[in-house]
């Protein structure tokens, strides 16, 4: 089928709405520059099924982030409408969005992980459930929303977790903190199998790589390729491909790692998989694509030409 008209989903109702708008506008412009007719649809504004049925697109480019956009909900609707769409399908999206479910799958595949438990947020606020340092984060949010690092010497966990104004998940993951460096690898799901693009190291002058560090101007620095030993880069790329395949991801994904090189160690652990990674022109995935010689427009074209149902 020749694709001519593309509906780009952007915005939405999650805590990541603003960055989704930036991703979506960027992808829509790139697709127009590549010769596609594009229509931008924000699911927060009215009935999404009605908007899509009225638009009658040949395919849907999903640029939504966070809950309702990358957790299988929109993917299920698109399957019901039988509209070809980009990125991962219902099951892979739901698994990747729930950090503990994803870790269960990774563990079964033998991928290196950190120890963790899932508890109610009020329990995590009441006392240390793990020897500091450790990390507390919602099991089903992205972009480091609602993440806390509890360091050695902290007397209590964050009081915000027990607040009546808390508006994120009640289920929290308490996870071992791994010292060292933040690495990430983009993966393209090609017909011959997943292919890792490169390894980027992410550094920040803020407390850690949180939402502000990811999206505020100057919040983080991307070193591409990461200055790590060649065998570590190779290991990260192969693990990223395995994580992508193990979850059943499609299209583009991004796999995040911690690399502990303190005291002569070379410990590499998988943190999580992102099935709807940021797609602004300067986001990590387009940066890695450009590093391999693929332009932003060509990347967006490849993603939309990969669209299908039954993903």
The secondary structure element, H or E, covering residue 138 is: strand 134-138
Q: Which residue among 11, 12, 14, 16 is the active-site one?
A: 16
Q: Which residue among 85, 211, 215, 296 is the active-site one?
A: 215
Strand partners, 184: 200, 256
Q: Which residue among 181, 274, 297, 301 is the active-site one?
A: 274
Q: Which residue among 67, 181, 250, 254 is the active-site one?
A: 254
Strand partners, 137: 173
- What is the distance between the alpha carbons of residues 270 and 262, in angstroms, rounded to a whole number? 17
Strand partners, 186: 254
Active-site annotation holds for 71: no
Q: Which residue among 182, 241, 256, 306 is the active-site one?
A: 256
- What is the distance between the alpha carbons of residues 55 and 17, in angstroms, rounded to a whole number? 22
First to last CA, the chain: 17
Closest-CA residue to 134 (of 254, 258, 222, 265): 258
Active-site annotation holds for 278: yes
Q: Which residue among 134, 278, 301, 311 is the active-site one?
A: 278
Say whether 13 sits in a helix, a strand or coil: coil
Strand partners, 148: 136
Strand partners, 291: none
Strands 148-150 and 134-138: antiparallel
Active-site annotation holds for 283: no
Active-site annotation holds for 254: yes
Q: Which residue among 62, 93, 143, 220 is the active-site one?
A: 143
Q: Which residue among 175, 201, 272, 306 is the active-site one?
A: 272
* Cβ 136 vs Cβ 120: under 8 Å: no
305 phi and psi angles, rounded to 5 deg: -75, -15
Active-site annotation holds for 272: yes
- Give the catalytic positions in this structure: 16, 143, 215, 254, 256, 272, 274, 278
């Amino acid at each position: 089928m020749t694709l001519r008209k593309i509906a780009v989903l952007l915005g939405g109702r999650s805590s990541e709405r603003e960055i989704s708008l930036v991703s979506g506008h960027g992808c829509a412009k790139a697709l127009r520059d590549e010769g596609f007719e594009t229509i931008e649809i924000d699911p927060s504004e009215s009935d999404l099924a009605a908007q899509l049925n009225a638009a009658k697109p040949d395919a849907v480019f999903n640029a939504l982030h966070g809950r309702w956009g990358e957790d299988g909900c929109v993917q299920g609707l698109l399957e019901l409408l039988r509209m070809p769409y980009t990125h991962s399908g219902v099951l892979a999206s739901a698994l990747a969005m729930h950090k503990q479910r994803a870790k269960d799958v990774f563990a079964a595949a033998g991928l290196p992980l950190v120890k963790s438990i899932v508890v109610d947020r009020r329990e995590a606020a009441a006392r240390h459930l793990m020897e500091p340092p450790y990390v507390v984060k919602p099991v089903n949010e992205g972009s480091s929303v609602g993440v806390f690092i509890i360091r050695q010497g902290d007397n209590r966990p964050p009081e915000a977790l027990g607040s009546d104004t808390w508006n994120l998940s009640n289920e929290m993951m308490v996870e071992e903190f791994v010292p060292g460096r933040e690495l990430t690898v983009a993966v393209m799901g090609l017909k011959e199998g997943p292919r890792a693009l490169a390894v980027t190291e992410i550094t920040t002058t803020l407390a850690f790589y949180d939402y502000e560090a990811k999206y505020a101007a100057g919040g983080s620095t991307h070193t591409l390729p990461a200055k790590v030993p060649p065998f570590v880069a190779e290991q990260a790329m192969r693990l990223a491909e395995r994580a992508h395949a193990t979850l059943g991801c499609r299209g583009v994904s991004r796999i995040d790692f911690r690399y502990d090189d303190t005291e002569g160690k070379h410990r590499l652990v998988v943190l999580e998989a992102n099935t709807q990674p940021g797609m602004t022109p300067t986001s990590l995935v387009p940066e890695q694509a450009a590093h391999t010689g693929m332009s932003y427009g060509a990347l967006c074209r490849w993603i939309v030409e990969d669209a299908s149902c039954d993903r």
